[in-house]
Amino acid sequence: MNTKTENYHIEIRDLSIEVVRKDIKHFYIGVHPPNGQVRVSAPLRLDDEAVRMAIISRLGWIRRKQTAFMKQERQSQREYVSGESHYFAGKRYRLKVTEQDCPPKVHLLNNTRIGLTVRPGTDRDKRGAILYEWYREHLRAQLPPLIAKWEQKMELTVNEVRIKKMKTLWGSCNIEAKRIWLNLELAKKPKSCLVYVLVHEMVHLFERHHNDRFRELMDKFLPQWRTYRDTLNRAPLAHEDWAY
């Protein structure tokens, strides 16, 4: 099998498009959230002009997808003050900040409010760091049973799952190390979104590329994955993810 790949960018109209040429049978175009980046996977047999013409033939579809991402709800920059909206597990909450001379903490006050307790004089960045550590703890707590469930169902082993903030990816997979990274922002999304991203990355342990086999495996293990993906793509984006 030819394992050669070629990566480059081309400009069409006002679009900068990433092209990956590799040993595949079919031509794929993807428009990816949050910023509508266009990526193309093309067979090695196609020359540059054929790739360009294939992209031009799909420009209308590309524009529609990018427009949908531009209309996606986006939060303004958070100041971490009382009354602000913050998302957790797919629900919108109002933040209630209390200054108190005690160790900081975050907890759900009820079905509509998140409580953030900080020491007097705690600045915006520190308040944000405290809240995000709470997000990290909740996301990390969900992982062991989820990983065990899907390892059994898929008959594979994941060596490690880590969490970090990522601007352009919901997840990534180091296939050789069997290590998966998940975006910390998933703590704000419905659990179905976490399941979708985790299974997506685990499927990469079977198939590296987003090709027909990859989609067949997603259909096999998580038949409703397209619904979960659409839910994730409709969810409000954090201010840090603005890219227009």
Is the pLDDT confidence value at 244 over 50? no
DSSP code per residue over 106-153 = EEE-SSSEEEEEE-TT--HHHHHHHHHHHHHHHHHHHHHHHHHHHHHH
Please state, in angstroms and rounded to a whole number, the distance separating the CA atoms of residues 28 and 35: 19
Is the pLDDT confidence value at 55 over 70? yes
- Region 75-80 average pLDDT: 81
Together in a domain, 227 and 167? yes
Together in a domain, 126 and 179? yes
pLDDT tens string 101-145: 999 999 999 999 999 999 999 999 999 999 999 999 999 999 999
Q: Give the model's pLDDT for residue 235.
A: 72
Q: In 66-83, which positions are buried (b, 16+ CB within 10 angstroms) versus exposed (e)?
A: beebeeeeebeebebeee
Please state, in angstroms and rounded to a whole number, the distance separating the CA atoms of residues 10 and 40: 10
- Region 72-99 average pLDDT: 89
pLDDT tens string 197-222: 999 999 999 998 888 899 999 999 99
Better-predicted residue by pLDDT, 66 or 88:
88
Better-predicted residue by pLDDT, 128 or 3:
128
Together in a domain, 52 and 121? no
Please state, in angstroms and rounded to a whole number, the distance separating the CA atoms of residues 181 and 170: 8
Is the pLDDT confidence value at 1 over 50? no
pLDDT > 70: percent of the chain: 91
Structural domain contains residue 38: yes
Structural domain contains residue 1: no
Structural domain contains residue 125: yes
Structural domain contains residue 63: yes
Is the pLDDT confidence value at 21 over 80? yes
Q: Give the model's pLDDT for residue 74.
A: 62
User: What range defines the domain where residue 29 resides?
Assistant: 6-70
- Region 171-196 average pLDDT: 95
